[in-house]
Structure 1
């Protein structure tokens, strides 16, 4: 997995690359010139890299927030890793992380009065199990799913997790969580038209109407 973000206005010319989950308190850093390797303190597992002066090292780096690197850019990063005598080889990940899902079924969470355990078709080989607490979730809906590896507009990363002991592999999103224009303040997931195509990348620039 390779999650990459770039925000030159807020953070300067730094590309942040995350490859595994770890909280800030669990991390330590090792520097190789402009390349900072992020490791877990407990076992030295590499969980990411920060690249300073990123635009000087990578061709055509642009964007703000989560960015998708090209094959060429990932190859340039791998050259930096090789020059630093680091064995890791990163792979480009260009698959969409916000996609259209179809809620196939849902059942009540055994340890909650408001959580639902859903099975959601996102166009993969098998449906994803996602725990959802939205009051308007229903089977049969077309919804927006943030897959594992997605970065929310807030900067939150989506990882596999558990909600009250039940595994969950993604998040069914609300308009506010997607930071859409005119998103209503009330709680509730975004429900799409029935003809929305399962597995298709969600269009953040689309024109959406909210009651």
Structure 2
């Protein structure tokens, strides 16, 4: 029995990023919820004008819920690098440009780190669930680690090939999906969502 309840067996994932949609769907669908992406629902993404991951996630979730008339789940996440003052941060996707060239984005991270002695980094995720009536709830997750170079692995997406989580010897790009789900920033945020909405720990 849910603690708060989704109130629907249908959920729109407010993203046009196939990697994000796939990861979130794999976390949600075991609960018997029918998932569709913003693209499948014919929903355009709003301009991300927020100053934080949480604000941008809320913008996208509210927009999708309003257009679809059902609950919507939005993710805003990115890579924060200590020596770069937290960049690329909320601009992580923009560093990849209009063509979503994350190889170029990873090259930029490496180039801007240059001879920095500290390659500490973190992946941060904010998930927002919004309902058509305007209600919303936000959950945040974070996993710390280190930038590695050159990129390693062809699994995952985005900056995964250059991020090695603390306590692990391989990058997110080298991890099997289930292994990444167990420790990722998105999974940590999702576990908070599950505890709040469904009244359990997501196990």
TM-score by length of 2: 0.25
Indicate the structure whose relative CO is greater, using CA pairs within 8 Å and at least 6 residues apart.
2
Structure holding more strand per residue: 1
Question: Given the two structures, how large is their TM-score scaled by the length of structure 1?
Answer: 0.25
- Which structure shows the higher helix fraction? 2
